[in-house]
Amino acid sequence: METAELLIWLVTIYAGIGALVAAAFLLVGIDRIDEDARGAYAFRPLLIPGIVVLWPVVLARWIELEGQR
């Protein structure tokens, strides 16, 4: 496998995991974490690119906040 193929494969895996985290967070997590986000469905699609890129941070913060409940 060439370096470029490996890099594309790794980015695809990272983005796929990010998409799964984004879907789970936007469907379940955001309502549990932020009370002001309840019922505000119009802005959620705007968060998808940021969550996909920063999914490790979002997931860690989500787990941390769920543990405080």
Q: How do residues 9-58 score in pLDDT, each as one tens digit?
A: 999 999 999 999 999 999 988 888 888 888 878 888 999 999 999 999 99
Alpha helices in the chain (DSSP H): 3-24, 30-33, 44-53, 55-67
Higher-pLDDT residue of 67 and 18 is 18
> DSSP letter at 63?
H
How many structural domains compose the chain?
1
Q: How confident is the model at residue 63 (pLDDT cuts 50, 70, 90)?
A: very high
H-helix or E-strand spanning residue 37: none
Q: How confident is the model at residue 67 (pLDDT cuts 50, 70, 90)?
A: confident
Domain hosting 51: range is: 3-67
Q: How far apart are CA 67 and CA 25, in angstroms?
A: 15
pTM: 0.83
